[in-house]
Structure 1
Amino acid sequence: MSAGIDAGAGGGAYAGKLALVTGSRRGVGLLIAEHILKHGGRVAGFARGESTIDHPDYHHFQVDVGDPASVQQGFAALKKVTDAVHIVVNNAAVLTSQYSMIMPPAAAQAMLNTNLMGAFMVSREASKMMRKGKWGRIINISSMAVSLEPIGDSVYAASKAGLTTLANVMAKELAPLNITCNSLAVSAIKTDMLSQLPQDKIAQVIAGLPIPRFAEADDILNVLDFLASERSSYITAQTIYLGGVN
């Protein structure tokens, strides 16, 4: 039988698999975690705050992915629950939208620590666990900001562009282990993070998209399922943009 998430179809598309989702308390991370649980998978969530998910197959770990020591401690705790991680969704991110000349250095550093270094550390530690089973899917949640390069998002866009390059290089390193690394660049979706930004500017961005609407949950989950599938074993080092952005 296939080793991928399609195995055990009777139990759901993610049956027999454990997915590690960062930033699982809210927004896109919460959406993804609940989707995987609904379809038969187990989920380990990394987030700075307490759990917002009540499910028998969900394990929560209070981890600040922007702190390498915290990530390593989180994996030490995770290994007490499971010896295998099959899917990683690097979703945790922070955003400060501000003109470059007045961007607080601490805010810029926080974006780099969480959005880029956090994904590196989580992928690094998870791939060591995936290596034992010679199967894995690493999916980085990127952003349309990489392509659109909006004013005020210099560091955020740069951190997400770095995330794409990170996935592409790790894809080459991990391919012999049957581990794929891809990126999903999400367009605007109604979350707490998006609510921080001026809504008139968001409206302008949406109006300029080839498909001029907000992303919906299924837009993201459709691509997630595709990239996580056993049938996508020949797809790696790719970035899929939503909304027609390229």
Structure 2
Amino acid sequence: MDLQGRIALVTGSRRGVGQLVAEHLLARGATVVGFARGEATIDHPAYRHYQVDVADAAMVQRAFGAIARDVGPVAIVINNAAVLTSQYAMIMPPSAAQEMLNVNLLGPFLVSREAAKMMRRLRWGRIVNIGSMAASLEPIGDSIYAATKAGVATLANVLAKELGPLGVTCNTLAVTAIDSDMLAQLPRDKVAAIIDRLPVPRFAAADDILNVIDFLLSERSGYITAQTIWLGGVN
């Protein structure tokens, strides 16, 4: 797939799945804009990094203004930025719950709405929200995290109806566990026990994610919208 001439925005591009996807899109020829609260970890001539908290509406709007001036209209969005605090509900700090709601759910909304204004002018766009197996499997300790990941799928479905007439598709890729900083926060044995119950009982590899990303961004997927694709057989 050739993405020459396309400008793609990846949130949470500093590490993990976000960095993986950003580097993949660069290899496909896209100009990639990264949002993250920290400094850039990608060094590439076609990569532009903005230190942005996606939960801050004013900061997101300012960043899109800068993108319009410095780079051009965004045609692809990968809403990947997320935080996870896995803890029983009775001892979950309200501040941790609020942060997950702000970053994992409000963030994709704020980014998508600003990107949609650019896509409207292009009459073409692709929005992909990175979901999680937690939304379906509902593991103990992940009440808020799972709820936010279920929320991003619903968000994509509603936006698909609003933006479909503009040539914009909105879908969700629900990933299973992949080696990342986020996964490292969780007990490995408990994660492995969940993975062992999947129809395809293994951890996700990079190609499992990138294969679906390629499909959802392609011209041939223009009739695919408001869908959630579950890796590993989760349903």
Whether TM-score is above 0.5 comes out as yes
Q: What secondary structure, in the 3-state scheme, does the structure 2 residue paired with 1:243 have?
A: helix
Q: What secondary structure, in the 3-state scheme, does the structure 1 residue paired with 2:121 have?
A: helix
State the shift of 1:240 in Å: 0.0
- Which moves more between the two structures, 143-152 or 65-74? 65-74
Q: Between the two proteins, what is the percent identity of the paired residues?
A: 69
Counterpart among 70, 73, 88 of residue 62 in structure 2: 73
The amino acid that maps onto 2:132 is S
The yes-or-no answer on 1:19 pairing with 2:8 is yes
- Which moves more between the two structures, 164-173 or 81-90? 81-90
- Tell me the TM-score normalised to structure 2 length: 0.99
Q: What secondary structure, in the 3-state scheme, does the structure 2 residue paired with 1:182 have?
A: strand
The yes-or-no answer on 1:235 pairing with 2:197 is no
The amino acid that maps onto 1:200 is D
Give me the whole-angstrom Cα distance separating, in 2, the residues matched to 1:222 and 1:23: 19
Q: What secondary structure, in the 3-state scheme, does the structure 1 residue paired with 2:24 have?
A: helix
- Which moves more between the two structures, 180-189 or 74-83? 74-83
The yes-or-no answer on 1:167 pairing with 2:152 is no
Alignment gaps of 5+ in structure 2: none
Give me the whole-angstrom Cα distance separating, in 1, the residues matched to 2:149 and 2:192: 21
The yes-or-no answer on 1:88 pairing with 2:88 is no
State the shift of 1:83 in Å: 2.8
Q: What secondary structure, in the 3-state scheme, does the structure 2 residue paired with 1:190 have?
A: coil
Question: Are 2:7 and 2:72, in contact at CA under 8 Å, matched by a contact in 1?
Answer: no
**2:96 alignment partner in structure 1:** 107
The yes-or-no answer on 1:195 pairing with 2:178 is no
The yes-or-no answer on 1:122 pairing with 2:111 is yes
**2:140 alignment partner in structure 1:** 151
**1:9 alignment partner in structure 2:** none
The yes-or-no answer on 1:218 pairing with 2:189 is no
Give me the whole-angstrom Cα distance separating, in 2, the residues matched to 1:182 and 1:16: 22
**Runs of 4 or more off by more than 3 Å in structure 1?**
none
Give me the whole-angstrom Cα distance separating, in 1, the residues matched to 2:188 and 2:29: 37
**2:130 alignment partner in structure 1:** 141
Give me the whole-angstrom Cα distance separating, in 2, the residues matched to 1:106 and 1:149: 21
- Tell me the TM-score normalised to structure 1 length: 0.94
RMSD value, Cα: 0.7
Give me the whole-angstrom Cα distance separating, in 2, the residues matched to 1:166 and 1:203: 29
Give me the whole-angstrom Cα distance separating, in 1, the residues matched to 2:195 and 2:156: 27
State the shift of 1:80 in Å: 1.6
The yes-or-no answer on 1:36 pairing with 2:25 is yes
Q: What secondary structure, in the 3-state scheme, does the structure 2 residue paired with 1:61 have?
A: strand
